[in-house]
Amino acid sequence: MIWFDVTKSGAAGHRSGLNRVSQRLLEGMVGEAKPVRWPEWRGAGVTRDDWFFTAELFSEDKRPGFSAFLQQRACRTAAVFHDAIPLKHPTITWPQSVARHPGYLKLLARFDRVWAVSAASRDELLGFWRWQGIASPPSVELLANGADFDGQPRVKQAAPPATPPRLLCVGILEPRKNQTFLLEVCAELWDEGLAFELHIVGRVNPHFGRPVLAQLKRAQKKYRGLRYHAAASDAAVAKLYATARAGVFPTIAEGSGLPLVESLWRGVPCVCSDLPVLRENADGGGCLAAAVNDGAAWKSALRSVLTDDGVHARLRSEATTRALPTWSAAAATVLRGLNGP
């Protein structure tokens, strides 16, 4: 039996990347896994041949008895690791997350199997364990997050983009996602007379997002091409991708970068930050990478994808023909790992 942890994701009312990972992996493991929630479950009914699998964040203070459960090893345990962002960017991360993250990373070392969502995040986790002097940690394998965010078939022949051209930025409003920087770059392009729309989709981070929202609303009063979608379903996001000329992803830190591959899945090129973790997918084609917070580089990349039909056609061809990961393949990877020797 695979006991699948849905403590947070099962009750989530929003579309975060972490919830996406849990929900889509569980969908791919139907018939193989049973959803459970802590603390109601607490390991009841397990045998030593069973697996407890989680793609969530956890801590002892939020899940009393969880450390003892891992220590007792009543069954085998496996987890998905996302990132060390709370430790790398503590000033723009919720303080409680910053405080809990070291303990979470230490608890991961007690698991039998760990998958990381990117090579960059794997290196961060292994580096943390070495720094902590943790003896005999588990090996960390790679698990590519799926691009098929809405479960729909991949777009192989994208429809002609809308006129004026539209850019689409998907992600929670917060400093890490860097929408403020994107607004500044787009404002310069609008001021220079370039006609295009920027659609921003994402809920507001309750701790850090209000200044971003305030700037967005101020910009909306000046620029008619700016649109904000506070809460959009997967179906609504898919419709936005259907008319977008390019996705834009100016983030300063990621575990894997789902919006990049999700844009490509819909046949839409992506302009993204030149982060090593994003280059793991961007270098496969369909993307323009620009240095983080480099206004001139981003201005040039956006202008190119908006106005140069040759560049856009090349990127769109790459986006619709290159290999992309799927959630069914990710679930199969996990199942092979859990059912294997």
Per-residue pLDDT of 326-338, as tens digits, reads 999 999 999 999 9
Residue 14 has pLDDT above 70, yes or no: no
> What number is the average pLDDT over the span 209-232?
95
The token pair at 93 is: 């991360």
159 band by pLDDT with thresholds 50, 70 and 90: confident
User: pTM of the predicted model, to two decimals?
Assistant: 0.94
Token pair of 217 as six digits: 């609303």
Q: What is the mean pLDDT of the chain?
A: 94
Which residues lie closer than 8 Å to 341 by C-beta, 6 or more apart? Answer: none
Instruction: Assign domain 166-321 to a CATH class.
Output: alpha beta
Give the residue range(s) of CATH 3.40.50.2000 domains in the chain. Answer: 2-146+326-339, 166-321
Cα dihedral: 171, 176, 179, 185 (round 10): -140
Question: What is the DSSP secondary-structure string of 119-175?
Answer: HHHHHHHHHHHHHHT-SSPPPEEE-PPPS-TTSPPP-SSPPPPPSS-EEEEES-BSG
pLDDT at 6: 96
Tens of pLDDT, residue by residue over 67-83, are 999 999 999 999 999 99
Q: Residue 231: which pLDDT band, with cuts at 50, 70 and 90?
A: confident
Q: What is the pLDDT of residue 272?
A: 98
Q: Is 57 exposed, middle or buried (0-12, 13-18, 19+ CB in 10 A)?
A: middle
Topology given in CATH for the domain delimited by 2-146+326-339? Rossmann fold (3.40.50)
